[in-house]
Structure 1
Amino acid sequence: MTLRSVFKSWIDHYFSDEEAVILLVVLVLGFAAVILFGRMLAPFLTALVIAFLLQGPVSWMERRRMPRLLAVFVVFLAFIGVLLALAFILMPLIWNQLVGLVQEAPRMFASGQRLLDDLQERYPNLITPDQMQNWIDVAGREVTQLGQRALTLSLASLGNVLTLIVYLILVPILVLFMLKDRDLLVGFTTSLLPQRRELMTRIWEEMDDQIANYVRGKVIEIIIVGSVAFFTFAYFGLPYTALLAVVVGLSVLVPYIGAAVTTLPVAAVAGFHFGLTDEFVYVLVAYGVLQALDGNVLSPILFSEAVNIHPVSIILAILFFGGIWGFWGVFFAIPLATLIKALVYAWPRGIKQRHLQEAAETPAER
């Protein structure tokens, strides 16, 4: 059997069905549109994610006999309230603390240099002067690059004010229409698809609840972990509490890696503020307990219905989709990996079942 015949047999097996070809075209066009036009479609995609997230509370109110239109407006007003609180309370606080941290970086660098000097004096056999100088040079370059990035970000943000205003106006309007006219929009989308779409329906049914549960669960996890981190750091009197709490909360977006990476800024700020004292150890222990409770208690509760995916697959999905779509790629890495897994399992199984059904039909039924 030649390679050409093997390839032809594979094509005939997986793409002889019209629905399979249409599904492949839809997937390719969808990914291509996001990759090529993602920046232009960003407000629409952001509104789509938010509307998907808010559909859960709307459906919950509908099940309790509240009219849909009233439920939509109640949920939308709550969303606007949260958005205003983030824009006018949390974001200015985080920005001020970020500016303060950048300004404090030289002093932190000097304090770290004194700490290295003390360690070199105490343990001259373990830490040589050359090693210490290399560490100081590397740290100095990182501090310089951090300051340059902060300055570049602040200058670039001046030109993005108009874009931010457009987002703050356009995204809520899109969210409102997506929630209010959900049935109309879904009906229009399905009308563009072929009437015979058992394979698409099966994949959508497998993915709908899982993606919804993942997105809502991940938002809840960010809020809970960030809030607990804020009150924990505030209890110990750690500076830049809001900034560190946001960083810790967002770290749950990247499983396994986020918790390890976030340890560095927490340890650096705690070490600069407390020194090598008992308070420094208490902060790190509290942070470790928080991450342990999140990984072993909170995540299993929130994502108990999620499809199990191997950690290597999760890391690969984060690296791949994060490299393509940035923040949203990281956020949806696990749902996208779940989609690929569902496609791999449902596609050949669905086509095989279709062929068996067609073979079992009588000529009269056909």
Structure 2
Amino acid sequence: MSDSQRWFFLIFTLIVGFLLYLLQPILSPFLIAALLAYLTDPLADRLEARGLSRTLSVVVVFLVMTTVLLLLVILLIPKLGHQVQVMVKMVPQVFSMIQTVWIPWLEEHTGLSFAEFDLQNLQALMSGHWQQTGSLVKGVFSSVSQSGLALAAWVANLALIPVVMFYLLRDWDVMMDKIGVLLPRNVERKVTLWAQECDEVLGAFIKGQLLVMLALGVIYSLGLWAVGLDLALLVGMLAGLASIVPYMGFIIGIVVAGVAAMLQFNDITMLGWVGAVFAVGQALEGMVLTPLLVGDRIGLHPVAVIFAIMAGGQLFGFVGILIALPVAAVIMVLLRHLHQGYKSSKLYDC
């Protein structure tokens, strides 16, 4: 790569980053649509390979996504809303258990004193936030209904996602080919190789990991439901979502489910059943789900995932969260090639 090309790519990257910063208030629906198009493009490609036209393949993908979304809205959303309300009612019981059981146990076994711990204020603060969370949907609709312009903008952004996704998905392969044609010929092969490696990383952490998260959420929910836990769906889905970072879903899920089980059953043996559910989930993740859905593709380190999401949110808000993992994947690939170049350079072997 010549010096002029290096400068061009550097300036181009800075301009794109600056535009993202300026346009972040309106980018969310476009980025969500692009992410959905990226995730569903392999399915559209398979349908196209079976003889369907590209447009018809996209229509089939949309019908499948719409069906799944309707099922989620009809079956899951009301149940989740009910379980959130149940969790809100459990908050005072949790603080009562902390004050009457856990704090005395800790004081007895550690010798520490928690007399100055202001549990009442913490309980009031947490209860207030949980009440806000429980009425979040009602508050959102109440606030947007006060302004016709805000409501119109919200509806427009929501309606824009499927429209943009349809056109992006229909023309995805064409756009990728045109981008490849625009690359300088002397770097086209290397950039294509880098793009394939980035897609491999993204495939492991966006496509594969999302499927693993969904499967774990279903496994945990069904297991906790079999145990008899009232918050089975809510805790299972929460643990599944947190599984984007290895072991975080297991830790969060088993702690929340354990507390909920103790409050509901007041029987310490139920902790064993809760632990068995999450142990089975972890075993299935390690031996079946991750090898089958993710495979041996290179993924991002858990610390890199956490840092990327937090850094993206700090720099660009919700837009930054959406682009955090793709950008982290690109940086990881570039750093790996930079490391290889450094190891073969005179700076290293002199």
TM-score band, normalised by the shorter chain? 0.7 to 0.9
Structure 2's unaligned 5+ residue stretches are 146-150, 345-350
Bigger relative contact order, structure 1 or 2, given CA contacts below 8 A and separation 6+? 1
Amino acid at match of 1:343: L
Report what 1:158 is aligned to. 142
Provide the TM-score with structure 1 as the length reference: 0.76
Report what 1:109 is aligned to. 95
2: CA distance between counterparts of 1:294 and 1:142? 37
2: CA distance between counterparts of 1:344 and 1:172? 35
Report what 1:174 is aligned to. 164
- The answer on whether the counterparts of 2:47 and 2:57 sit within 8 Å (CA) in structure 1 is yes
1: CA distance between counterparts of 2:204 and 2:108? 54
Report what 1:89 is aligned to. 75
- The answer on whether the counterparts of 2:245 and 2:302 sit within 8 Å (CA) in structure 1 is no
Report what 2:225 is aligned to. 234
Q: Per-residue deviation at 1:134?
A: 2.3
Report what 2:266 is aligned to. 275
Amino acid at match of 1:260: I
Change (3 A) 1:76 1:312: closer
Determine what percentage of the aligned residue pairs are the same residue. 26
- The answer on whether the counterparts of 1:52 and 1:212 sit within 8 Å (CA) in structure 2 is no
1: CA distance between counterparts of 2:47 and 2:14? 36
Amino acid at match of 1:25: I
Q: Per-residue deviation at 1:186?
A: 4.1
Q: From the CA coordinates, give the structure whose radius of gyration is larger.
A: 1
Deviates more, 1:125-134 or 1:298-307: 125-134
Deviates more, 1:306-315 or 1:59-68: 306-315
1: CA distance between counterparts of 2:122 and 2:331? 41
Count how many residue pairs are aligned between Structure 1 and Structure 2. 336
Provide the TM-score with structure 2 as the length reference: 0.79
1: CA distance between counterparts of 2:10 and 2:249? 33
2: CA distance between counterparts of 1:184 and 1:66? 17
2: CA distance between counterparts of 1:84 and 1:148? 27
Deviates more, 1:308-317 or 1:83-92: 308-317
1: CA distance between counterparts of 2:250 and 2:52? 41
Change (3 A) 1:321 1:112: same
Change (3 A) 1:337 1:305: farther
Structure 1's unaligned 5+ residue stretches are 1-14, 354-366
Q: Per-residue deviation at 1:62?
A: 1.8
Q: Per-residue deviation at 1:78?
A: 0.7
Task: State the Cα deviation string for residues 115-142 of structure 1 (Å, max 9, x = none).
Answer: 347x55xx87436694266274475255
Q: Secondary structure of 1:41's partner?
A: helix
- The answer on whether the counterparts of 1:47 and 1:174 sit within 8 Å (CA) in structure 2 is yes
Report what 2:192 is aligned to. 201
Deviates more, 1:277-286 or 1:328-337: 328-337
Q: Per-residue deviation at 1:48?
A: 0.3
Q: Secondary structure of 1:159's partner?
A: helix
Change (3 A) 1:116 1:215: closer
1: CA distance between counterparts of 2:111 and 2:195? 61
Report what 2:85 is aligned to. 99
